[in-house]
Structure 1
Amino acid sequence: MPVQPNAANSVPSITVGEVPADAYLLDVREHNEWDAGHAPNAVHIPMADVPARLDELPDDKPIVVACRGGGRSSRVVAWLQAQGINDAVNLDGGMNAWSAAGRPMEADSGEPYVL
């Protein structure tokens, strides 16, 4: 997986097109954002809940962290790396970029969109 430091925040980031098929996609947005639309097979753990749910994260595959635009997810990646989870990377552009790239999305009801 080609990982490049994001100049704005110095955490490793990848583009939507670089997301590995076997990646664990961690969506750290709030519940209403998740309900509006999310990637299939993504796992939802709101940013504030990540520390308490750290043991739920895999240690055998890359973790791609996403939010709406990349700000919250970059903070989560920095925190995960400080905990020794070096396979965590930020999804550059977040779910906005995911949706713009035409990647699949689903919603709990209605047409999915990025909130």
Structure 2
Amino acid sequence: MSDFETVTPEQIPAGAKIIDIREQDEWDLGHAEGAVHLPLSELADRIDEIDPDEDNYIICRSGGRSRRACEWLNSQGYTVIDVAGGSGAWMDAQLPLVSENGEEPTIR
């Protein structure tokens, strides 16, 4: 059993800190509007960019990587919430997406 909460994209409060842990190519195609990019491959080296006392909503593509990241961050004392279904669920819920490549945002 985990020590962190899991929510759907629709349950994320407005203005919440969303950390997208997907890799650069995934991020460039499309991501939640307002999210912060912190790839899983860089998480350990950049952990000081995360406020341990703030609610941090962790999102990936489908939920597997975010769950692993939440388990690790939680063990380090961080307050994290896993976003169930990831960016795919975000897109399915028709929540705002933006891209970094000048094209229509998408999740793959």
Counterpart selection for 2:82 from 71, 82, 90: 90
Would you say 1:99 and 2:97 are equivalent positions? no
Identity of aligned residues (%): 39
SS at match of 1:99: helix
- Residue 58 (structure 1) aligns with: 51
Correspondences of 1:28-67 after superposition (within 5 Å): 28-67=21-60
- With normalisation by structure 2, the TM-score equals 0.92
The one-letter code sitting in structure 1 at the alignment partner of 2:85 is: G
- Residue 70 (structure 2) aligns with: 77
CA separation of 1:83/1:60 partners in 2, compared to 1, >3 Å: closer, same or farther?
closer
The offset of 1:60, in angstroms, is 4.2
Higher relative contact order (CA 8 A, sep 6+): 2
Partners of 2:59 and 2:83 within 8 A in 1 = yes
Unaligned runs of 5+ in 2: none
The offset of 1:12, in angstroms, is 2.5
- Residue 14 (structure 2) aligns with: 21
Partners of 1:23 and 1:61 within 8 A in 2 = no
- With normalisation by structure 1, the TM-score equals 0.86
The offset of 1:59, in angstroms, is 3.4
Unaligned runs of 5+ in 1: none
Greater than 3 Å deviation, 4+ residue runs: none
Aligned residues: 106
SS at match of 1:51: coil
